[in-house]
Amino acid sequence: MACALPHHLFFFFFFFLLFLLPFSTVAQTNGTVAVGTSITANTKDTPWLSPSGVFAFGFKPLQEKNLFLLSIWYHQIPDQTVVWYGNDGIPISTGSKLDLTGDRGLVLSDPQGNELWKSQFIVDSVAYGFMNDTGNFLLVRSDSFNLWESFKYPTDTTLPTQIMESGGVIFSRLSETNFSQGRFQFRLLLDGNLVLNTRDITTNFAYDAYYISGTFDPNNSSNSGYQVIFNDAGFMYILRRNNQRFDLTPQQLLFPTTEYYHRATLNFDGVFTQYYHPKSFDSSTKWTPIWSAPDNICLNINGEEGSGACGFNSICTLNVYKRPECKCPPGYSLLDPNNTYGSCKPNFSHSCSEDDINSGEELYDLLPLKDTAWLTCKYEHLQPASEDLCRKSCLNDCFCVVALLLNDSCFKKKLPLSNGRQDRSVNGQAFLKFRKSDVPLVRPPPPPIPKPEKKGGTLIIVGSVFLGSSLFINFVFIGAVCLGFFVIYHKKSIKNSHGDHCAAETNLRCFTYKEVAEATDGFKEELGSGAFGIVYKGAIQMGSRVVVVAVKKLDRLVQEREKEFKAEVNVIGQTHHKNLVCLLGFCDEGQHRMLVYEFLSNGTLASFLFGEKKPSWNQRTQIALGIARGLVYLHEECSTQIIHCDIKPQNVLLDDYYNARISDFGLAKLLMLNQSKTNPATIRGTKGYVAAEWFNRKPITAKVDVYSYGVLLLEIITCRRSVCDLENGEEEKGILTYWASDCFQDGKLDALVENDMEALNDWKMLERFLMVGIWCIQEDPSLRPTMRKVTQMLEGVVEVGLPPSPSQFSYTN
């Protein structure tokens, strides 16, 4: 009687056979393409594959019938993402041909033999072509010198091992499916700044940048950037000429390139994003963002020229994926119905005829749009102005199509409208003009596109496999299906057996108390303590790696507030910004409430600022900008606004490259009222950083963080604590906010920075930063700028006016 094979070996056997077949197919190519080889645009010719089969070079079919794109794409990923394309992204028809020639390199011709495109700058004979596993196609000389490579001519995507030199540029696509050059650019300028900007497609004129890296140093050229590097570990950064790095990818990268594919793409809507994709995947696996810039493109584009993130007369809103969505305002429709990101036109006649001028209020009406604005194209400013005055002025002005009311200011605007946005940070109201005979209708959103029935698709795939394959392959397929069911069932069993402690609905990892205790060696090494409890250092297993972590043991919470804890952790877990400390997971077991953060090696900003050695001026300014950008994200970009309530140098950590990372954000709601550090007990914050409204019982808004940031900015400028106990007759320096304001009024900036020559040599920036700090610490919250405006003023994008002297309000009141 035959011996029965154990069931686990049976599954392993068929699993091995299943993967043996595609492996043998991949082994048939080594990535080399001989001179004289050609490929034709059709559905039969096989593309040129890289050695492992990850990338393919050839003609990728498009949605339009009989059209193809000369491109490089991820061959092994289901959606076959395109990462490079030739012929300026213009589709080609069936029968077009690509030849690899010895004297001209790659030559693309149409079915009639007319040349459409060729690789540039081939001055020697090509020995062979090579499609490598990094996604770079090379034309190689006989001595192995690279004559041409696709990495030197990027389109909308950059890949690991790819480098952009000073002066380099990539363009977005025109749309999701149109690969022609679009309206957005990603450029490394000759001065060292990395920027994102819109452009005029016809003239290629570049409009104002909506993202600036700040890696240009006018006083020290060696500190300016000259390369954008995407290294083989999956990190993107700007390399300065002194070999220092300006990181773009967050340092705590949990998606190693050994297990994940990476790419960074300037999307057609102007958002530059780095993505990852598991190398082991199923049909539902998608590309997932790691980071993107800018944080809110709708608000970041503010230039006087160009239409903004969307087309003219359109309104931009940010979706949950931090990508812009464009819509026409009521009474307007798309110029091109197929381009939802394009310009809109009014559906009513607009004129300055005699009848219109004399009968404005009879013929026209205004539709209020909350939190909506078109920031440019204003031609008249009324101040002070009530809502009634603003409305009437626009109705009786034949040029006015929109009136924008912000506080007591009325701005009248005319066509075309640009930089339209709808966001709660606008904090104003637009009044859209329309003819009463053409009442604008607010159209409902289109119904969701029904998803294809999965069962039918599965049956078709299975049927195709069985009908088109040999008996041996069918046998292997059945074994693989059985194995799949076994693995899925096994995983579910494991998940169910460990699911009791993971009640919070979040994508963070849920640790048991035992795991955290073991990771911290019984909470042995204490890193520090604060209003929420004690922080311990530990090391914990995360996938295949051991990650160093900081565990915050929350021992000062109201234990009955279980739902609040889970809600707040869920909000914190959804944040993602390079200037925020990353929350990796949490423990919510019994009476134990703990948060597990990434560990940052360079400690707190307090230790950095107030140590024996004064940090460089450049480091301090970059840290100040990083904190400001992180607060903009918390205040404006999160799905739920987060007010920190305790901004201070102890709550800012520094990573390996001294990038500022805000910590303890989102925890203010969890703190027991009688554990706050100030009086009265309802006040949250720390002495020296608390805004006046806490004491005056005024509404608490994000402006309390602006005040605290202003104090922190003055500390960064001076390297002095906000409150000092002085015994040497310098009592006037005891309260930093008062002393800094006096020094500014008296023009004694040298005394403020104690003859810091690096700061004094950068006088304009020093003065600008100091004025911004004083604006932030105004007692009246309405006088303080938003954090977005603070960032723009620090960057020099928005002019900083002369600030008034802040009120002599004391934290002791």
Average pLDDT over residues 138-151: 94
- The reply to whether 764 falls in a domain is yes
| Per-residue pLDDT band at 492 (split at 50, 70, 90) | very low
pLDDT beyond 50 at 11: no
Whether residues 344 and 358 share a domain: the answer is yes
Distance CA(164)–CA(194), nearest Å, equals 10
> Which CATH number do you get for residue 67?
2.90.10.10
The 10s digit of each residue's pLDDT in 201-223 is: 988 999 999 999 999 988 888 88
- How many helices and strands (H and E) does the chain possess? 18, 44
Together in a domain, 68 and 92: yes
In this predicted structure, the answer to whether residue 26 has a pLDDT above a threshold of 70 is no
Q: How far apart are CA 486 and CA 8, in angstroms?
A: 10
Residue 553 annotated as lining a ligand binding site: yes
Distances (CA, A) of 805 to 477, 663, 738, 796, 802: 77, 31, 9, 22, 10
- Residue that finishes a domain, picked among 126, 153, 180: 153
Confidence bin at 235 (pLDDT 50/70/90): very high
Claim to verify: residue 546 and residue 625 sit in the same structural domain: no
* 454 vs 639 pLDDT, higher one: 639
Q: How far apart are CA 807 and CA 693, in angstroms?
A: 13
Q: What is the pLDDT of residues 403-441, one digit of tens each?
A: 999 888 999 999 999 999 998 888 889 999 988 876 554
Q: Which residues, in sequence order, are bridge partners of residue 774?
A: none
Looking at the fold, whether 316 and 434 belong to one and the same domain comes out as yes
Closest by CA to 191, choosing from 220, 162, 211, 170, is: 220
Residue 770 scores a pLDDT above 80: yes
The percentage of residues in the chain with a pLDDT greater than 90, rounded to a whole number, is: 51
* Strand order through the sheet with 137-140: 32-34, 128-131, 137-140, 146-149
- Look at residue 496 and tell me if it is in a domain: no
460 confidence band (pLDDT: 50, 70, 90): very low
* Residues 542 and 626 both lie in one domain: no
Q: Are residues 53 and 142 in the same domain?
A: yes
Domain boundary among 153, 179, 211: 153
Number of folded domains that form the chain: 6
Query: Mean pLDDT throughout 711-736?
Result: 79
Q: Quick one: angle between helices 787-795 and 763-776, nearest 10?
A: 170
Reported as a pLDDT band with limits 50, 70 and 90, residue 241 is very high
Residues 690 and 753 in one domain: yes
Same domain, 170 and 221: yes
pLDDT attached to residue 300: 92
The predicted model gives 605-610 an average pLDDT of: 92
State pTM to two decimals.
Answer: 0.55
Same domain for 723 and 791: yes
Q: How far apart are CA 759 and CA 743, in angstroms?
A: 15
Is a pLDDT exceeding 50 seen at residue 16? no
Res 343 pLDDT > 90: yes
Is residue 161 located within the same domain as residue 144? no
pLDDT for 469: 43
**CATH number of the domain within which 717 lies:** 1.10.510.10
Confidence check: pLDDT of 380 > 80 = yes
Q: What does DSSP assign to residue 65? A: T
Higher pLDDT, 252 or 746: 746
Position 327 scores a pLDDT of 95
d(CA 773, CA 715): 10
Asked if residue 501 belongs to a domain, the reply is no
Whether the Cβ atoms of residue 287 and residue 267 lie closer than 8 Å to each other: no
Do 172 and 140 sit in the same domain of this protein?
no
- Give the residue numbers spanning the domain of 770: 605-795
Does residue 504 fall inside a structural domain?
no
39 and 172 part of one domain: no
pLDDT tens digits, residue range 655-702? 877 889 999 887 766 553 333 333 334 456 677 888 888 777 778 899
Q: What is the pLDDT of residue 51?
A: 96
* pLDDT over 80 at 61, yes or no: yes
454 found inside a domain: no
b/e burial code for range 263-286 (CB count within 10 A of at least 16 → b): bbbbbbbbbbbbbbbeeeeeeeee
Does residue 268 have a pLDDT over 70?
Answer: yes
Among this protein's residues, is 521 annotated catalytic?
A: no
| Average per-residue pLDDT for the chain | 82
pLDDT band for 806, please (50, 70, 90 cuts). confident
Kindly indicate the confidence band of residue 461, based on its pLDDT and cuts at 50, 70 and 90: very low
Query: Average pLDDT in the 478-495 region?
Result: 46
Q: Which of 243-247, 430-434, 650-654, 793-797 has the lowest mean pLDDT?
A: 793-797
Q: With respect to residue 343, please indicate whether it lies within any of the assigned structural domains.
A: yes
Average pLDDT over residues 493-519: 63
* Amino acid 404: pLDDT: 94
Sorting pLDDT into bands at 50, 70 and 90, what band is 146?
Answer: very high
Residue ending a domain, among 598, 631, 665, is: 598
Residue 3 confidence (pLDDT) above 90: no
pLDDT score, position 147:
93
Asked if residue 275 belongs to a domain, the reply is: yes
- Given 646, 664, 756, 762, the catalytic residue: 646
Instruction: Give the model's pLDDT for residue 647.
Output: 93
Q: What is the CATH number of the domain that holds 558?
A: 3.30.200.20
Q: Is residue 763 domain-resident?
A: yes
Residue 127 clears pLDDT 90, i.e. is over it: yes
Q: Which of 468-472, 567-571, 634-638 has the lowest mean pLDDT?
A: 468-472
